[in-house]
Structure 1
Amino acid sequence: MRPLDPRLIRRSRAARGFLIGGGALALLQAGSTIAFAWALASLVVGLIEGDVPWGIELVIVVLVAAASVRAVAGWLWEWLGSAGAMRVKAELRDDLLAALEDRPGDARPTSTADASTLLGPGLDALDEYFGRYLPQLVLTAVATPILVAAAWSADWVSGLILVIVLPLIPVFMALIGMATEVVQRRQWQRLQSLSKGFLEVVGGLATLMLYGRAERQVERIRTVTDQYRSSTMKVLRVTFLSGFTLELAASLSVALVAVSIGLRLVAGDMSFAPGLFVLVLAPEVFLPIRNVGAAFHASTAGLEASRSALDLLETDSAERRPDQPAQHGDPTTDAAGLHLRGVRVTRGGRAAVDGVDLDAAPGEIVAVMGASGSGKSSLVAALLGFAPYEGTATLDGVALGPGTRARLAWAAQSAHLLEGTVAENVRLGAEHAPAAVADRALALAAAEVPAGTVLGPGGTGLSGGQAQRVAVARAIHRLLATDASLLVLDEPSSALDADREAALAAGLGELAAEGRTVLVVTHRETLAAHADRVVAIREVAHA
């Protein structure tokens, strides 16, 4: 059995509101349960003995009112659980999307398949967590002590029995919960593997069919599916075992109270009214904790998903610690263009780039060169505001960060295209610009691909070099359409031959001649030869 994750309470206002509202409902339900038990016991004893204390009318009114309040409280629990789950899911999804959106593709801590599984069915599992598990957990924490105290006040012997046997059930639940956590975590991992494998096959289906390898993936999907099915059956076995154990423990505990009361009633050591009151109340004492055990297994998928989401968000926050003084968006100098002084970028606790100085004035092409692993992509991530940095980095007098992202256009090392025409891919994000801007962007990128060419899912239908040039054209289109001042290209010619690379360099030269600042990250000497300045980055030595 696992309570609400403290990280979720700190992060989510909806979770805190759920606990406050749930505590009030638990008090209301506990009070109505005690009133119902008292009214029922008083009515039965009064009818048997011929004398109803406080009057039969009042007792019936209390009985009906208590039953009505319990019914309303149950309905409010359903509403509170559904509303709480929806709001918490919305908050987590917004935070996760913001965290993933603020990172480039090579800096994301999770794959696309894992992210889609987490954002989709993973967080949807919180419906069971907030709809069934947490209400019963709050009831157990708030209502159970009140009900035990009420039973103790009526009959201290029964209250003592409840105090002794009640803690045994959480012990059983904790032992079963540990086993459940293991199998549920394995099931969650299998679901992620299944989603990842399926998305990979779908994404590469056109290529697999082209080379006649599609049938080989059937066995792979079948194997992953069988592993997920096996993990699910293990979870169900543990669920049935825990349900049987909890029902048996609760039934035996209520039986102990009933036998004790029965023996004392026969011996004349106890009156009928308090005995009947405790007998009506005893099952209600164990009901919330039994429901916690039953609902726990249905909520474990949500527990795993929320844990994964909070771990991802904590990782993102750790990489944006306030001790890394990037003053994003604050005016610093009046110098136009891009200026870096002593820039240091840390990734995963280690320096990826350290001590970089760079100047790129308007009208210049500056090439950043370095071996693989020297930190070129990490430097680009810092320029885009995707990674925190130390030192000074300004664009047109404003410190670089998420707030300056609109001032630049960027093309990643990998071309990410969508289904549709080439023109639609090029105009993505700046559809308001005239069609002539897209045509010019394609020409400057030396794309040599008709704007009306239709691409398949994932941008299939183009060679690697063509896709790369279309992605560069998209960045140039954004530069022209938004009148940005800086164009950043990460390895734009890695898949091009010498002639097309020279044509691309000529297009970048034309942009620079118009007063744009062009920063090119490359390992190609041919492209670097067309730059006005070359900045070499060396890999940071680690002890």
Structure 2
Amino acid sequence: MRPFDPALLRALPATRLPVALLSGVGVLSGVVAIGQAVALAVVVARVVSGAPLAPALGWLVGLLTLRGVFAALSEYAARQAGLRVAAVVRLAVLRRWLGRPVEDRPPEEVAVTRAGEGVSAVEPYVARYLPALVTAAVVPALAVLALVVVDPWSALVVVVTLPLLPVFAALIGLHTREQTDRRWGAMALLAGHFLDVVRGLPTLVSYGRARAQVQVVREVGERHREATVRTLRTAFLSTAALELLATISVAMVAVAVGLRLAYGAMDLTVALTAILLAPEAYWPVRRVGAEFHNAADGAAVLEALAADGTLPADGSARTDRGVRADAPTGPDGHPGPVALHAVGYAHPGRERTVVDVSLSTPGGPGLTVLTGPSGAGKTTVLELLAALRRPTTGTVTAPPAHLAAQRPVLLPGTVRDNLALVGGGAADDAAMTRALERVGLRDALAAREGLDTLLGDDGFGLSAGQRARLALARATLSRTPLVLLDEPTATVAAGAVPALHEVILELARTRRVVVVTHDPVLAVHGDDHWHLEPAPLPAVAPAAPAAATDACAALSCHDERPDDHRDTTAGHRHQVDAPAHPTPAQPTPGVVEPITLPGGRRGLVLACLLGGGSVSCGVALTATSGWLIVEASTMPVVLMLMVAIVGVRAFGIFRPVLRYAERVISHDVALEDLATRRADVFARLVPLTPARLGRRSRGDVLTAVVRDLDDVVDAQVRVTVPAWSALLATAVGAALAAWHLPAAGLVITVGALTTAFLALTGYAVERTSQRAAVLARSEVQQRTTALTGRLLAVQAVTGTTADPDAVLAGIDRAEHRHQRAEAALIRARALVIAALWAVVAGTAAAVAVLAWQARSAGELTGPYAALVALVPMALADTWVGTADIAGAAARARAAADRLAAVLGRSPAVHGRGTGSPADTDVPRLVLDAVGAAWGGESRAGRHTLDLAPLDLTLRPGCRVALTGPNGVGKSTALAVLARHLDPLCGRYAVDGQDAVDLDLGATRSRIAVVDDEPHAFAGSVRANLLLARPDADDEDLLAALLAVDLGHWLATLPAGLGTTLTGLSGGERARLSMARAVLSGRPVVLLDEPAAHLDDATAVRALGGLLAAGAGRTHLMVSHRPDDLAGWDPVELARSDAAQGSISVQDRPPSSLVRMPSVVSR
């Protein structure tokens, strides 16, 4: 990490003016500080001599007031500049990433950290460090020049010793760099773990593994704490070393001055001026050291961004085009052929995904149909055509493309916002409405809020089929010559599919459309056909056509399972082998235990005492130094000064040592508390999943778990410790002054009370504004997380060559709202800082006058008069720092309120029951007029039903298929059956017992769920399967994979069951979830469109294998594919006006036996 790289200013033009302004203010503040030192020396000399005080005191008060003005201006400019530059960097980084293929940008977990917390760390780098660097280059030189005029010998000492500070800082900084890099690695791991776990919480809850993750979260947080504390120890040691060196250097100046005073070779005023000027030469360099370590994270992030070309040295914001050739334009203006020539690609951790693929299609409009079995690489081919991935071999020729993915990206926001992602002002509201009408979605959205309908993460609020239709509507609004559709009708109800076929064919009349489909009806309409087969097995696969079980068993020998059943291949692990029931060290299910931190409070108390001791040593050092210099001017015997000399040395040494100890202990305590609280927060998220959180508020949850919780815990370091330190130091200063001059002690006490009043006033003003600022900041973080966590899917919509302004517009607006919200805080903080400097000026003037009067009256000797006069100035920085204490307290309170709002939501399932289910092999499940809703309560406690009252009986061993239009409530019915959602009306019975009265965990433990968007964790195949049954052995895992037709897929993995999952197709992801259900052995299996992304042959094998492996179990499947229904009892859910009605919670009888008309036809 270089102290400063000019390339950063070239890469970020927006930093130039703010940094120049801040640097100018910093230099002016340094000049004023030099003038203040001279004025203070004159004032103290006149207090000692009894000479007229008013002129010099007027200069001191004026300079202190001016310093307050510059401090306020610096605070305002610094905060504004930091926020502005961070926003510019964030947008530049995202813009750059949106123009690059996936291989040319960081992994998702790194991107989330770097664009979120990383860019936020740029604020102190720009706002504090860069101006401090400029100040350090100018002010010491001015101080030395002033010393040359005042005392050349003192100037010589400073010139000789000053270069030692940056040398020591550089040496220690080299060590800090490596530790900072490790800490960012730990932060990336932490962010990746939380993102993955929050995404997969519904899966963890379904299989009863969420509670087991609490300890894993605690362990990951502990690793982060250890990495951070190691870095901080070095960083704080650097600051302490610089301060100690500066103290020793000033002591050398003091020794030389004192000896000359003792021998009468120097005037007192000159001596005091030299002593007070010398620290001003070292202070800017010390500040650079402190700010450098505070801004080290920002410097590391900027360096990483510059190193990988994300922030180009020329400051351009151009986007990269990926690696492909544009299709030539034909004479009719249409793009030329779309082709892949000898293309190969492998996802990370996979030996091959597609191998030697050569496909081409004629130029001009038309429909190209791409078919092939699940896992053949069809989605990868579309991503290569869209330039989202870089081929490892071969070439891809294609024009700019729009890709409607299997899992279409729908960011949190309105329907309008998501349609507008195509960019370029492609459509107004009228065009958007027409597009929705063409795909049959207009009426469903009009019943809500039309284009203003709010969607959650991943389109929460819409069914899978509705999300697919919204993606197709967005594709019709795009202007790209190539449109890529990945199974656009797989999740759409059969009755709506013909209309979507017409939309696709209409698109193909004006543009080239490449569609991946398993729908034979759509395939017939293609004028060009591509077909893919899975990549051949690796060479290590058995050559003989052995039985599938033997082939997989052969592979398993290369994947030795660790004795503790834990996956050791993933970057972070999911503790699948944790005990099913909590141990005493884990939270009791359903109860969040109070946070207990052994030694935490004692450590915090010790940190407060150490901090108070450090600041008190600073006060004593200043006061004792003043006494010593004045006493030396009386030319006593040197031995009479030894006690004071030893005291000055002790105070000078103990101040940085105690400060170092306080900072290390306080940060260690805070980080330990943070790890514990983060695990506690995760435990509190579990009851809210999936209905209240899950996919709905992922960015909100991640912001709460990371940024808001950081602010809450930071109060220990930024509020508790400095507040008590200030109180103790002020008490010491007031007592020291009162000992010699009671009136001075009283004035200092009044000044302290005035300081406290101003700080509390600042807190009161900021508390209201901080709430808005924290909410605005959380919106920035949420939107950034939503985008960086889905960069590939967003690029599918925008392409890699289009201007991403439409995608970044929401983040840009959120950044502006954040800056406006912070502006009120910054103004209030700046005014408080200016007022606090005025209090310091007033207190210093009053004490100086009292000391002068006492000296003139003979009540005080000269040395003690100097001691008393210097006490208020020794407390100046401590008092002014209370403005930051108040601001940190207000922010912590606002963050705590927002955290409480996220965690304080009422669970969608109230597991109050303690009854045990009947002892039956397969339970009988009955929905008796059950209605349900996902959303929270509307006005007057009323809900809009997502599932109209439904009667449904699942007899043991039955196979029932739920069908019906999209949005009728099929997935909601599955959520009720899985005990992820409580009925709002009616009764859900398990073996005749009301499910509400049964133990929640016991009921869920009998039901396996295959979600419509199943999650695969960032771990190995083994770890993902063991979530369903931790005691399973490898033979069980292999059997489950074979049952759902994943034998060939497993054979292609380089490490077999130990392979880390990457690049799963939609069909592979669905079958992996089905394998979990098979492995779990649970008597009831609920499947939500499990075969939507499978070809017919694979779907027959997978579903057949699942049913064969689960003979005798109850199976309930939601499906829109008529071919899937053979052997199943169909139950069609029809639309009902009741679904659009509402029900009052208050009107529901306690017995939950409200009868509603059935909407089921059999």
* TM value normalised by structure 1: 0.73
Check if 1:302 corresponds to 2:307.
Answer: no
- Residue of structure 2 equivalent to 1:10: 10
Number of residue equivalences: 498
Distance 1:70 1:428, change over 3 A: closer
1:240-290: CA deviations, max 9, x gaps? 423332222111100000111121233344444433321120111111122
> Shift of the alpha carbon at 1:303?
2.3
Distance 1:194 1:364, change over 3 A: closer
- Residue of structure 1 equivalent to 2:62: 65
SS at match of 2:513: strand
Q: CA contact under 8 A between 1:340 and 1:356: conserved in structure 2?
A: no
Check if 1:255 corresponds to 2:248.
Answer: no
> Shift of the alpha carbon at 1:455?
10
Counterparts of 1:439-458 in structure 2 under 5 Å?
440-441=438-439, 458=458
- Residue of structure 2 equivalent to 1:361: 364
- Residue of structure 1 equivalent to 2:84: 87
- Residue of structure 2 equivalent to 1:476: 472
Give the distance between the partners of 1:25 and 1:364, measured in 2 at CA.
Answer: 64
- Residue of structure 1 equivalent to 2:386: 381
Q: CA contact under 8 A between 2:368 and 2:530: conserved in structure 1?
A: no
Counterparts of 1:330-345 in structure 2 under 5 Å?
335-340=332-337
- Please point out which of 176, 180, 184 is paired with 2:180: 184
Counterparts of 1:14-93 in structure 2 under 5 Å?
14-45=14-45, 59-93=56-90
Give the distance between the partners of 1:20 and 1:8, measured in 2 at CA.
Answer: 14
- Residue of structure 2 equivalent to 1:397: none
Check if 1:531 corresponds to 2:526.
Answer: yes
Give the distance between the partners of 1:141 and 1:20, measured in 2 at CA.
Answer: 14
Q: CA contact under 8 A between 1:367 and 1:519: conserved in structure 2?
A: no
Q: CA contact under 8 A between 2:78 and 2:127: conserved in structure 1?
A: yes
Give the distance between the partners of 1:522 and 1:487, measured in 2 at CA.
Answer: 11
Q: CA contact under 8 A between 1:418 and 1:458: conserved in structure 2?
A: yes
SS at match of 2:3: coil
- Which structure has the larger Rg over C-alpha atoms? 2
SS at match of 2:485: strand
Give the unaligned 5+ runs of structure 2.
Answer: 346-354, 422-426, 442-449, 536-1162
- Residue of structure 2 equivalent to 1:449: none
Check if 1:515 corresponds to 2:518.
Answer: no
SS at match of 1:531: coil
Equivalent position amino acid for 2:32 in 1: S
Counterparts of 1:140-539 in structure 2 under 5 Å?
140-311=136-307, 314=310, 335-340=332-337, 359-365=362-368, 372=377, 376-377=381-382, 379-382=384-387, 400=399, 409-412=402-405, 414-416=407-409, 437-438=435-436, 440-441=438-439, 458=458, 473-480=469-476, 486-490=482-486, 507=501, 511-512=505-506, 515-520=509-514, 531-534=526-529
SS at match of 1:258: helix
> Shift of the alpha carbon at 1:143?
0.8
Give the distance between the partners of 1:392 and 1:511, measured in 2 at CA.
Answer: 25
Give the distance between the partners of 1:392 and 1:16, measured in 2 at CA.
Answer: 41
Give the distance between the partners of 1:191 and 1:213, measured in 2 at CA.
Answer: 24
Give the distance between the partners of 2:281 and 2:85, measured in 1 at CA.
Answer: 30
1:74-118: CA deviations, max 9, x gaps? 2222122111101101101211232234457x5672344433333
> Shift of the alpha carbon at 1:239?
3.7
Counterparts of 1:94-173 in structure 2 under 5 Å?
94-102=91-99, 106=102, 109-173=105-169
1:431-456: CA deviations, max 9, x gaps? 7557785465379xxxxxxxx9x999
> Shift of the alpha carbon at 1:6?
2.9
Q: CA contact under 8 A between 1:342 and 1:354: conserved in structure 2?
A: no
Equivalent position amino acid for 2:505 in 1: L
**Worse overlay, 314-323 or 507-516:** 314-323
Give the distance between the partners of 1:261 and 1:415, measured in 2 at CA.
Answer: 76
Distance 1:504 1:235, change over 3 A: farther
Give the distance between the partners of 1:325 and 1:199, measured in 2 at CA.
Answer: 32
Give the distance between the partners of 2:460 and 2:471, measured in 1 at CA.
Answer: 19
1:447-471: CA deviations, max 9, x gaps? xxxxx9x999646899xxx95x766
Distance 1:123 1:409, change over 3 A: closer
**Worse overlay, 332-341 or 172-181:** 332-341
Distance 1:156 1:368, change over 3 A: farther
Give the distance between the partners of 1:318 and 1:366, measured in 2 at CA.
Answer: 37
**Worse overlay, 279-288 or 356-365:** 356-365
Distance 1:412 1:3, change over 3 A: same
SS at match of 1:337: coil
**Alignment RMSD (CA, Å):** 5.0
Give the distance between the partners of 1:322 and 1:199, measured in 2 at CA.
Answer: 28
Q: CA contact under 8 A between 2:92 and 2:311: conserved in structure 1?
A: no
Q: CA contact under 8 A between 1:411 and 1:475: conserved in structure 2?
A: yes
Equivalent position amino acid for 1:225 in 2: G
> Shift of the alpha carbon at 1:73?
2.0
Give the distance between the partners of 1:456 and 1:48, measured in 2 at CA.
Answer: 72
Give the distance between the partners of 2:18 and 2:412, measured in 1 at CA.
Answer: 42
Distance 1:371 1:175, change over 3 A: same
Give the distance between the partners of 2:265 and 2:356, measured in 1 at CA.
Answer: 83
Distance 1:41 1:215, change over 3 A: closer
> Shift of the alpha carbon at 1:368?
10
Equivalent position amino acid for 1:365 in 2: T
Q: CA contact under 8 A between 1:472 and 1:489: conserved in structure 2?
A: no
Equivalent position amino acid for 1:278 in 2: A
More helix by share: 1
- Residue of structure 2 equivalent to 1:446: none
Give the distance between the partners of 1:69 and 1:512, measured in 2 at CA.
Answer: 72
Give the distance between the partners of 2:202 and 2:139, measured in 1 at CA.
Answer: 59
1:374-405: CA deviations, max 9, x gaps? 983464234x9999xxx9989xxxxx55xxxx
Q: CA contact under 8 A between 2:371 and 2:516: conserved in structure 1?
A: yes
Q: How much identity, in percent, do the aligned residues show?
A: 33
> Shift of the alpha carbon at 1:515?
1.9
Equivalent position amino acid for 1:137 in 2: L
1:513-538: CA deviations, max 9, x gaps? 8723343265989787753235799x
Distance 1:239 1:150, change over 3 A: same
Distance 1:79 1:514, change over 3 A: closer
1:288-335: CA deviations, max 9, x gaps? 12222233332222223333444455378899579999899xx97652
Give the distance between the partners of 1:419 and 1:277, measured in 2 at CA.
Answer: 62
Give the distance between the partners of 2:410 and 2:48, measured in 1 at CA.
Answer: 81
Give the distance between the partners of 1:315 and 1:85, measured in 2 at CA.
Answer: 17
SS at match of 2:484: strand
1:112-133: CA deviations, max 9, x gaps? 4433333332222233333433
SS at match of 1:360: coil
SS at match of 2:177: helix
Distance 1:110 1:514, change over 3 A: closer
Give the distance between the partners of 2:478 and 2:67, measured in 1 at CA.
Answer: 61
SS at match of 1:314: coil
* TM value normalised by structure 2: 0.37
